[in-house]
Amino acid sequence: TFRILYEASHPTNPPALETDADANVYLLRPDWGDYNSYLYRFLTADSYADPQITTIPGSAHGKFAMVLDQARGQLYYFSANNTFHIIGLDGTLRSSVGLLQPGPHAMLQYPLLCMDADGTLFAAWTTQKHDVYMYWDIHAMKSLDGGATWQTLSGRPLTLPVVADDTGPTDRISLDDEFEYHTWLSSFLAKDGKLHFMYQAQMPQAREHYVRYDIASGREDLRIQPRFGGGALSLCYLDGFLATDPTRPGSPLFAVGTGPE
């Protein structure tokens, strides 16, 4: 069964949602009226009534990601306007920085975030080629200290704001021969010491990629393409997602999407 916690009308997008160990609910949305974003905290102590609201100035964009860091008591918000924000679970805006910047070829378009069980934060994104409808390439990087500083997947320090496209210093997940075709990172997550990516390259014969990086070394150790599937079913579409039970080491990783079979 369900019950309504809150209703309102705003010029906005579908929100990002997180819950913590105490069953508090965190909702984050952009606003196209003032180009800020807003974090709503629905607290169990208040029976989820009258949410407490935090303003995140100048952060609105139609593409964005949020992830909860329970151990550090904070949330991370990555907006496609290149900004990255840390908000305490008490609603305090702790920091806002320019995380990425456009490169000569492309700019940030689709940001994603995930965390591993050891507290490493990962950011990944798809870029958009300048002045052309073309999803250009896919990149990732990591932070060991809760978003304060950033590194390549192998541990090389990065200076903010990081160039978002293939001319920048971050690890590129898409391949050299895929630049002139749409590549779109549908999902990624960290699980059991590995970083897992799923993306499609819309070539004349479409490629669906499952890519795995070893977190300790920061190196790719497995790539399955152009077909990603089992004996009877396979996935091959821009949209899709990866899911698992993060509380159970060794539990299955599920890839969900649509496909030709």
Q: CA-CA distance, 163 to 71, in Å (whole number)? A: 30
* Contact indicator for 254, 244 with CB cutoff of 8 Å: yes
Backbone angles phi, psi at 202, to 5 degrees: -85, 65
pTM beyond 0.85, yes or no: yes
Q: CA-CA distance, 218 to 145, in Å (whole number)? A: 17
Q: CA-CA distance, 23 to 74, in Å (whole number)? A: 15
User: Which among 194, 254, 248, 182 is positioned nearest to 220, based on CA atoms?
Assistant: 194
Q: Does residue 261 have a pLDDT over 80?
A: no
Give pLDDT, residue 231.
Answer: 85
- Average the pLDDT over 196-215 and give the result: 96
Give pLDDT, residue 237.
Answer: 85
The separation between CA 261 and the C-alpha centre of its own chain, rounded to angstroms, equals 28
Q: What is the pLDDT of residues 119-138, one digit of tens each?
A: 999 999 999 999 999 999 99
Give pLDDT, residue 239.
Answer: 87
Q: CA-CA distance, 202 to 21, in Å (whole number)? A: 40
The separation between CA 254 and the C-alpha centre of its own chain, rounded to angstroms, equals 17
pLDDT: which is higher, 259 or 80: 80
- Average the pLDDT over 169-185 and give the result: 96
Give pLDDT, residue 72.
Answer: 97
Per-residue confidence band for 23, with pLDDT thresholds at 50, 70 and 90: very high
* Contact indicator for 28, 1 with CB cutoff of 8 Å: no
Query: How high is the mean pLDDT of the chain?
Result: 95
Q: What is the pLDDT of residues 52-61, one digit of tens each?
A: 999 999 999 9
* Contact indicator for 124, 139 with CB cutoff of 8 Å: yes
Give pLDDT, residue 230.
Answer: 87
- Average the pLDDT over 7-28 and give the result: 96
Q: What is the pLDDT of residues 221-258, one digit of tens each?
A: 999 999 998 888 898 888 899 999 988 999 999 999 88
Give the CA diameter of the chain. Answer: 55
Give pLDDT, residue 59.
Answer: 97
